[in-house]
Amino acid sequence: MFQRILFVALTFLIALSSRLSAEATVAIGYQPGSRANATFRLPTVPSPVQGDAASRGKWLVISGTADPASGGLGKLSNDQLPRSADQPAENFFFAPATPGGRLRLELDRSTEIAQIRTYSWHPRERAPQVYTVYGCDQQEVSSGGKLLENDESVQLKPSGTIDPASCGWTKIATVDTRRDGIGHGGQVGVVISASDHSVNDHSVNDHSVNDQAIGHYRYLLFDIHPTRPDARFSNTFFSEIDILDADADVTPAKPIATPDIVTYAIEEGGYEFTLDTSECPDLTRWADQELAPVVQQWYPKIAEMLASDDYEAPHDFQIRISSSMDGVAATSGTQVTCSANWYRRNLRGEAKGATVHELVHVVQQYGQSRRTNRRAARTPGWVVEGIADYVRWHLYEPASAGGGVAGRRSRTLQYDASYRDTAAFLAWVITNGNPDLLAKLNAAARSGTYSAAFWKAATGKTVDELATAWHADLEN
């Protein structure tokens, strides 16, 4: 709300100045870190494009110090995106503990600008964007067709404390994504465009623009501020800046290709998922040919076997194979992260089954009940993991002998020892007179009503009675 008021005020000020502009509007898209990947698919704003006007432009630092650890100005409009959240060499940013600075973009010609789009990606406070952007049209301010750099009324390099608006620049928009509550890590996309209102009287003069364009400019000046002036590392990681020419026929803009991040549709159920192997291209082919079909087949199956009242399994989810992850795999929300090192060693063995286990977690979402109901019970970890391993070892890989549990002595197996031990117990209970146990257990866990009393209600026996009978059966 505040932002909108600011824009109305700002437009008023611009309207009072001699250089008028249509009202610019700012749209902000945010993807939290858990869901962000190199496709930069953001809610409410478009993904970065290639072949836009900025990719033919020249960037210059007018004031401030670029961080030598950054990828430099060449990364701003090179039509390439970072592959992960904290990739300094694929972004541009100002040096630590400096108050930001000014960047100038010189387009290859005076351009009717439809949109300015800025994208950033960082795991922490360097994701938000705080800047003011100005425009200057060389042809407009020149006399006799040639601009003189020492023209006192126009400064094409307004450094330091000089107000650009006082020396030939038109303020286009002020952006502060922190006002939208974006203070933490993730991906941020900002789209500045002309208002879709028709042009108001006060902006109609020889500098007026049509209602499709921000204005006609040769130069853009970004006056950039740190996101947290009190923090040493708070200069934004700018990943890509796109400038959309109002004449789309001249500049067709295509989404930036990310061949190792692929979105797959699952026909049954209308689900979709992305498989991200951008950190380990050697696994892209395996993921596409071996893993994706398993996910397409098993996700809807798992969603169906773990259905419960008033619940829909997540419509979309992400699987990222990470070169920096230790361990095997983990799921947070709808983001599955797998260790590239472990997967490489287990491509023929457990890699696909481990992924099926994680798909169960994507469907489970047992924490949801506690977000809406403070009295909902937390389902014990051994139940959560036991269900995931039951689906994996007993349904997906039935030839595995329960993941090797079948040969073990009963005294080495405890029903609440989690993972494949609990899975073996669940399998025994299910095949011994309780075919709907999985559905009941899942429903109790998801609604936050699971307790030790569940077993008696669901099977007529306590969990200890069931375990004793299971052990006796194993010894026979």
Task: Provide the binding-site residues for Zn ion, judged by CB under 5 A.
Answer: 385, 388
Q: Cα separation of 404 and 389, whole Å? A: 12
- Range 332-339 contact pairs with CB under 8 angstroms and sequence separation of 24 or more: 332/34, 333/34, 333/35, 334/34, 334/35, 334/362, 335/34, 335/35, 336/361, 336/362
Supply the minimum distance, in Å, between the C-beta of residue 364 and Zn ion.
Answer: 9
Q: How far is the CB of 447 from Zn ion (least distance, A)?
A: 20
Contacts of 473 (CB under 8 A, 6+ apart): 428, 432
Order across the sheet with 335-339: list the strands: 261-266, 271-276, 316-322, 335-339, 329-332
Residue with Cβ nearer Zn ion (154 or 384): 384
Provide, rounded to whole angstroms, the least separation between the CB of residue 424 and Zn ion. Answer: 16
Query: CA distances (Å), 100 to each of 64, 219, 391, 400, 459, in order?
Result: 6, 19, 52, 58, 65
CB of 372 to Zn ion, least distance (A): 24
Report the alpha-carbon distance of residue 63 to residue 155 in Å, rounded.
13
- Shortest Å, Cβ 83 to Zn ion: 26
Report the candidate in 214, 223, 211 with the shortest Cα–Cα distance to residue 176.
223
Least distance in Å: CB of 357 to Zn ion? 6
In the bound state with Zn ion, the residue whose beta carbon lies nearer, of 213 and 388, is: 388
- Distance CA(242)–CA(330), nearest Å, equals 35
**156/441 with CB nearer Zn ion:** 441
Residues 289 and 155: their CA atoms lie apart, in Å, by 57
Query: Cα separation of 384 and 171, whole Å?
Result: 55
Q: What distance in Å separates the CA atoms of residue 85 and residue 91, rounded to the nearest whole number?
A: 10
For Zn ion, give the closer residue by CB, 59 or 425. 425
| Cα 168 to Cα 33: distance, rounded to the nearest angstrom | 40
How far is Cα of residue 314 from the mean position of the Cα atoms in its chain? 16
- Rounded CA-CA distance 301/360 in Å is 10
Dihedral, 142, 144, 149, 154 alpha carbons, nearest 10: -30
Which CB atom, from 47 or from 355, has the smaller least distance to Zn ion?
355
Q: For Zn ion, which is the closer residue by CB, 350 or 385?
A: 385
- The Cα–Cα gap between 38 and 36 comes to 7
Of 134 and 390, CB closest to Zn ion: 390
Helix axes 351-364, 292-305, angle to 10 degrees: 40
Between 330 and 430, name the residue whose CB sits nearer to Zn ion. 330
Work out how close the CB of 385 gets to Zn ion at its nearest, in angstroms, rounded to a whole number.
Answer: 5
Distances (CA, A) of 354 to 165, 320, 335, 364, 419: 59, 13, 14, 16, 12
CB 388, min distance to Zn ion, A: 5
Q: How far is the CB of 382 from Zn ion (least distance, A)?
A: 11
Q: How far is the CB of 368 from Zn ion (least distance, A)?
A: 17
- Smallest separation (angstroms) from Zn ion to the CB of 396: 14
Task: Give the shortest CB-389-to-Zn ion separation in angstroms.
Answer: 8
Minimum distance, C-beta of residue 355 to Zn ion, in the bound complex (Å): 11
